[in-house]
Structure 1
Amino acid sequence: MADTAFHSARQRYADLGVDVDAALSRLAGISISLHCWQGDDVTGFESSSQSLGGGIAVTGSYPGKARNPAELREDLDKALSLIPGSHRLNLHASYGEFGGVKVDRDQIDVSHFAGWIDWARSRRMGLDFNPTFFSHPLAADGFTIAHSDDGIRGFWVRHGQICRKIGAAMGAALGSPTVTNVWIPDGYKDTPVDRLAPRRRLEDSLDRIFAEPLSPAHNLDAVEPKLFGLGSESYVVGSHEFYLGYAIRRGKLMCLDAGHYHPTETIADKLTSVLMSVDRVLLHVSRGVRWDSDHVVTLNEELLAISHELVRNDLLGRVHIGMDYFDASINRVAAWVIGARNVLKSLLIALLEPTERLRQVELNRDLTARLAILEECKSLPWGAVWDEYCRRQSTPVGQSWLDEVRAYEQLVLSKR
């Protein structure tokens, strides 16, 4: 029955000039960077008493969250087994293995991540990395590398410098460049008087963090803007305009986070514009709901629009795709699986589009045909192709992955 559905779908796409097997081959070559912080609610492993702060908040208390690196890796292994394809892991600096010893952020080094490197190597996957500029006493007032206090700013600059070196060491060890992404919470809750001075300090701090040349074969630097955040509702130092200009001037990756813009904006429209001026983009796939930016990714119109932009404009080779959300109200392993499978589904739908036919009718100014074909594409049997992809990748088809998560919940998560 499954073969019949797939073969029927493949023929229907072939009638439109779409090579289904080529689309599946391209999809298999796309790696998504799973975010470690979904597994433990962004707590990290610096201390058992660590609490969130610096513009980060997680809601929910679903049982079974990871309490240490071993449990987090166990959960990631389960999630990865349910997501078709070969993928990556995105780590924050607060997820090192410190052996119960207090190690401040400006004193960490690659040895604290040796376990993660070994784990990734054994699974033939790459790692990405992030300095952790939040949940720390020196970030309590909402400022880090744009701080007016030189001592506090210097502390966070050293942290950023160290994290780049750790990222490069990861990339060298694993044979795949690490994307080391800088996001800071710096900003004001209410209207500031001086918007310029913090941005000048931010630029200076970033220049100091990025001063040491590192091989792009090992490390790629990215900078991440935000429209507003918790405690920075009125002013964010690292705005979209600031970081876009900085990325262009300094040759850095621009991070576009789907949850970091106004609810009526979509980063799909930004991709082609930004990539005219920067070489590469880091894409954080998230889902904003009202003021909050970090809901589990669903197969919605915005996600589809992003994937269509990447495929139609042949941008997949210039975009690093990662996920960024944290939901503690549902099973955390399921949250990874749902989000990642939806990203892959959206990419498959885009890869199955008769793009050349659409491009031709648009060039011919046949806008009626363009709209008609786009609408007809929405009912094409991509689901049968997705099921075949899961079978070829030896991962569960349909909702059967949820049965595995439920069993894992009973056998492992419920005992924590």
Structure 2
Amino acid sequence: MRKENFDRAKQDYEKWGINVDEVFHQLKSVSISIHCWQGDDVSGFEVKKAELSGGIDVTGNYPGKARTPEELRQDLEKALSLIPGKHRVNLHAMYAETKGKVVERDELEPEYFGNWVNWAKEHGLGLDFNPTLFSHEKAADGLTLSHPNEEIRQFWIRHCIASRKIGEYFGKQLGTPCLTNIWIPDGYKDIPSDRLTPRQRLKDSLDQIFAEEIDETYNIDAVESKLFGIGSESYVVGSHEFYLGYALTNKKVYLLDTGHFHPTETISNKISALLLYFDKLALHVSRPVRWDSDHVVIFDEELREIALEIVRNQALERVMIGLDFFDASINRIAAWVIGTRNMIKALLYAMLMPNDYLKQLQESGNFTERLALIEEFKTYPFGAVWDAYCDYMGVPVRETWLEEVKKYEQEVLRKR
């Protein structure tokens, strides 16, 4: 029955010139950067740990949180086995393995990520990276690269320089460039009396961090903006306008996080504008609920619009898609699987739209047919094609993956 449904679906799409087999071939080459921090509630493995800070909050206490690097990698392997395609894993600096030695963040070296690299090689994965500029005594007041204390600011500059070197190491070892992304929590809870000076310091810090050229064959630099956060409700130093200007001027990748803008503002509308000026863009896809709350990605309208903007503008090789959510109220492996499968599902949905024809309708002013077709395609037999794609990629079809997660929970997670 499933094959019959797929065969009929293929015929429906082929009437519009959409070759489903070619779509499958194209989609399987897309790699999503899956964030490691969903598996351990953004705890990391530092010997000297600080409380989670920087506007980041993880709620819930579902059993089975990863407590060690080995457990986290084991959980990632399980999640990846249920997700179609070959993907990447995104690390934060706080996931270094120092063998019980206290290593300050500005002293981190590639060797502390050797186990991650060996694991990535074994599984054919790429790695991405982020300096960790939160949950630290030198970020306790919510300021890092814009800090008025020069000693503290230089500490974070050194940390980001070290992080770029780690990214370069990943790229050299794995044969695929590492995206090293800088995000900072810097800002003020109440109305600032001076917005310019902190931004001047941030710009100077970034200039120092990026002073040394690193071959983009190995490491690609990105900067990530934010509107507001807990503790920085009134002012964030690294705003959209600040980082957009900095990235354009300094030829860095600009990273858009779906939760870092006004509640009614969408990043799908920004992608086409930025593609005019940037060779590459990066995304952190999450789901804000009223604010930047990093809920698990669902197959909603904005996710589909993001995918459509990437696909119909032929930007799959220009937009680096990463995920960024964390939920401790549900099974953490299920969260990875749900969110990543939905991102891939949205890309498939976009590839199964008659995008070129819809563009022609718009250019000719035929808005009636454009709207009619967009709405009709929402109920085309997309589900049958998604099922066939999962089968084609050798992963569970529909909700059957959930049984494997339940089994893993009983046999592994609840014994921790």
The answer to whether the superposition gives a TM-score over 0.5 is yes
CA–CA distance in 2 between the matches of 1:182 and 1:324?
14
Q: What residue identity is the alignment partner of 1:12?
A: D
8 Å CA contact 2:129–2:181 kept in 1: the answer is yes
State the shift of 1:48 in Å. 7.2
State the shift of 1:47 in Å. 2.7
State the shift of 1:49 in Å. 4.9
Q: How does 1:315-354 map to 2 (within 5 A)?
A: 315-354=315-354
8 Å CA contact 2:259–2:291 kept in 1: the answer is no
Ranges in structure 2 where 5+ consecutive residues have no aligned partner? none
Q: What residue identity is the alignment partner of 1:66?
A: A
8 Å CA contact 2:126–2:178 kept in 1: the answer is yes
Counterpart residue number, 1:155: 155
Q: What residue identity is the alignment partner of 2:356?
A: E
CA RMSD of aligned residues (A): 0.8
Q: Which runs of 4+ in 1 moved over 2 A?
A: 47-51
Counterpart residue number, 2:77: 77
Q: Deviations over 1:125-148 (max 9, x none)?
A: 100000000000000000001000
CA–CA distance in 2 between the matches of 1:232 and 1:359?
41
Counterpart residue number, 2:214: 214
CA–CA distance in 2 between the matches of 1:383 and 1:371?
22
Counterpart residue number, 2:124: 124
Q: What residue identity is the alignment partner of 1:51?
A: E
Counterpart residue number, 1:203: 203
Counterpart residue number, 2:273: 273
| Seq. identity, % | 58
CA–CA distance in 2 between the matches of 1:107 and 1:358?
53
Q: What residue identity is the alignment partner of 1:79?
A: A
State the shift of 1:86 in Å. 0.4
TM-score, normalisation: structure 2: 0.99
Counterpart residue number, 2:111: 111
Counterpart residue number, 2:190: 190
8 Å CA contact 2:50–2:137 kept in 1: the answer is no
Counterpart residue number, 1:372: 372
Q: Deviations over 1:259-293 (max 9, x none)?
A: 11111111001011112122211111110001233
Counterpart residue number, 1:403: 403
8 Å CA contact 1:54–1:136 kept in 2: the answer is no
8 Å CA contact 1:225–1:240 kept in 2: the answer is yes
Q: What residue identity is the alignment partner of 2:25?
A: S
8 Å CA contact 1:145–1:202 kept in 2: the answer is yes
State the shift of 1:161 in Å. 0.2
CA–CA distance in 1 between the matches of 2:74 and 2:325?
19
> Which moved further from structure 2: 95-104 or 133-142?
95-104
Q: How does 1:139-288 map to 2 (within 5 A)?
A: 139-288=139-288
Which secondary structure state, in structure 2, belongs to the residue aligned with residue 227 of structure 1? coil
CA–CA distance in 2 between the matches of 1:262 and 1:396?
37
> Which moved further from structure 2: 126-135 or 13-22?
13-22
Which secondary structure state, in structure 2, belongs to the residue aligned with residue 316 of structure 1? coil
Q: Deviations over 1:329-355 (max 9, x none)?
A: 000000000000000010000000011
Counterpart residue number, 1:27: 27
Ranges in structure 1 where 5+ consecutive residues have no aligned partner? none
Q: What residue identity is the alignment partner of 1:138?
A: K
CA–CA distance in 2 between the matches of 1:278 and 1:207?
19
8 Å CA contact 1:188–1:234 kept in 2: the answer is yes
Q: What residue identity is the alignment partner of 1:300?
A: D
Q: Deviations over 1:112-171 (max 9, x none)?
A: 000000000111110000000000000000000100000000000000000000000000
8 Å CA contact 2:48–2:102 kept in 1: the answer is no
> Which moved further from structure 2: 356-365 or 103-112?
356-365
> Which moved further from structure 2: 19-28 or 42-51?
42-51
Counterpart residue number, 2:62: 62
